[in-house]
Chains A and B, each alone.
Chain A
Amino acid sequence: MTSELSQTSATMRDNADVAEVLGRSYSAGFITKIEMTGLPPGLDEGTVRAISAVKGEPAWMTEWRLQAYRHWLTMPQPDWAKLSIDPIDYQAISYYAAPKVQPKSLDEVDPALLETYEKLGIPLHERAALAGVAVDAVFDSVSVGTTFRKQLAAAGVLFCSMSEAIREYPDIVRKYLGSVVPTGDNFFAALNSAVFSDGSFVFIPRGVRCPMELSTYFRINAQNTGQFERTLIVAEEGSHVSYLEGCTAPKRDENQLHAAVVELVALEGAQIKYSTVQNWYPGDENGVGGIYNFVTKRGDCRGDDSKISWTQVETGSAITWKYPSVVLRGDRSVGEFYSVALTHHHQQADTGTKMIHLGKHTKSKIVSKGISAGRSSNSYRGLVKVEKGAEGARNYTQCDSLLIGKQCGAHTFPYMEVKNPSAIIEHEATTSKISDDQMFYCRSRGIAEEDAVSMIVDGFCKQVFRELPMEFAVEAKKLLEVSLEGAVG
């Protein structure tokens, strides 16, 4: 293995000029110049109150945040992940940043912002908007606009920013917020609960099949600012929704913190499909800058026969710490996790899922594809837990790692806790590298090295890409190609 690997790296040296020409291009790295308002750096109870006040929140919400903040103070930052993280100075971060002018409707949105989203391929003006996809655009700490609201409202679907939901639909928010990820769940979730500024809210009423894809596009722009978004999706009995989020940030030399919480609730017979294409700025080829991405995502299959499916394509961020999970509470409920995590240069990812089987005959499926290149480190960490009452629970896990070059690392940490003897758990894991044989085979057919690598990587990820909505699968594939530029060659 070692000798084969060094052969690969010899090949790379031979083609160092190709690598130089390509380098890594992060096309979303531009900065939008816009007048901003916000809070100065620092975090105390005053900060929490100020965020709550600027959003015009009711007293119960302020109290909820403060409780979370006090809990957070008692918690240490977790260090169990296979990540090396420089100390984070939580007092040096600004916890709220927003464009100065708050638009009342999409027509009033600052042209500079519209241009930003257009450049990112997400036109917000309805006449130009992506057909069949409603978008909520979150810029730093606030939502700047949501498209197709009228059409969605006609179907009974509520889709708006979290801030608005707290004001307009307090009963629903109060009932479900924190019901899946409690305020004190973990260090980053507690921090998020205290200072979250915006995010998306989705409510699909009983029996409604959401007429279009819903998506949120998160953009970090301001300097020294953390983004703490909070998303809540509730699917009532028998309803269906497919939701996608995308994320980008400008190239900056300092690390920026992104600590999000996403909660999904699926009632009886409901289905939620949640897809992520995460392309936060990963830092440069020397590991300078990039987003620290600490995210808690959890879905609760609260009703019988419900289904929650996570699909993620993670190519960005300097550090990714993320485990989208499903609590399979209802009988015969189904949880799925499909993941492609790609790390290059000095990126670090520790990502995976948790499937908690509580109900009878619950099923879960995990397909994880990790790709490491450069000097990056890529870990899969997953828990499959079957509680006593989960009669006939089934899990299938497939966990594949692909190495490109010899200085990267891939690790797999599967955990299993099974308390019911009728459970069937399967785990398959492979680690492979792009072999010299595969490269030569492609090249001997006329396919150049870089193209051969993208083709092989694309093939490796096929099972996951299949789960993405069509246009996003194309996007994800392109993203991988860009992210791998210079990895071989």
Chain B
Amino acid sequence: MSTMSMPSQAIPKDDARPFVEYAFVKGHFAWGYFWFMFAIIGGFLYAGQFLQAYLLPGIEWLSPGRVRMIHTQGVAYGFIANCFLGALYWAVPRLTGQRVTHKYLGYFILYAWNALTLISVVGILFGEAQALEWGENPVWIDPVVLVGLACAAAQFTPALWKTKGKLHYVSIWYFSGALAWTGLVYFMGNFGPEYWAVGTGGAALTGLYIHDLVGLFVTPIGWGLMYYFVPILINKPIWSHKLSLLGFWGLAFFYPLQGIHHFLYSPIPMYAQYGAVVTTIAIEIVVTTVVINFFATLRKREAFMVNSLPVRWFYTGMILYFITCLQCSFQVTLTFQKIIHFTDWVVGHAHLVMFGVFGFWIMGMIEYLWPKVTKAGEWYSNHLSHWSYWLMGIGLIIMFSTLTIAGLVQGYLWRDLAVFEASISASVPFWWARYFSGLMILIGAFITAFNMYKTAEMGRAK
């Protein structure tokens, strides 16, 4: 198999500025983790509503529906976007041998982005939400978010483009593609249904937006970072360069076409729905090649799965990614859709991909980078890190499996024309299990938060 090892770019010596700005990595990780805690506390609160046990009832701005929106918004824009930016500040200069565009732009992005997220969250809580899935931030903040995305693109794209040579490493394609996609996707998804595409046409664009946000922002940056971190951590080049080429271009060809599979059997013209179904099944092949590539890379380095917690987070995420995509290629078929659409199955799927894959990868990156960027050198407690891994891992598996089964139960009860209340009564045991799995994740998250705080304190003391 052809291999292409990661380029080790020479650091320019004539410049006194630090090559990698640790403050940005640290700042984005800290904020990202704050939003993560914030979002999952919201999710946990919301899960209580399903048991008629909402902890803060009767308060208008803390109504469960609004908290549900800050749960997803906090995860997407607070947690994942922040942590990815942090990881990019670490990876991009090392990969390209170039500094990011400007330090002050970095500070601006750090504060502006988190201010935007905060304003969005407050706006949602006080009733300014926009009725778009993953785009609930108030409609008046959307143009500002686009400016923020443009700033992020301006910060990283020049460095990526100035990389020496014509053949660039795979991570660079992923980052470069994602920086182009994210702004376009955000523009289409937040303005289309609001202004120029009414009703059913708007639903088509919403479908594209929901899926592109995962497929064209989170997924490419996530895989780009995996292609960077995994070879470094296990000290071995990626197994096959050709497979990684197939993975990226397969994603670029198929992913943007899939969105309408969120609205199958809706009044959207059927050819668009068929297109979405076919390309979704096609991406499964691409995904398989990527996963094979990474597991082939791990060969003879399996011990890292046991000894290195970051690698364990990464590969756990990859296994779950494979399960997600396999599940996806089934659930997207019209046959499965009849039963599982509108049920908790989909909720389980969403948690599996957003937390089980990308959340776990980010946890791995934090695990690897946090002691470095805080200059502590090592974690306050490795023991606590392991606790966090097991609590979150098992919690997520329980959440995913209970929601999947609950989805089937609901779907069949609806199809069999049981009275609607029956589907609620039947789901309650599953919702209890989901609640406790959420509690496990929450405890795991608190443990890591404590660990991060103590580690940062150690770093300051040095």
**Do A and B associate with each other?**
no
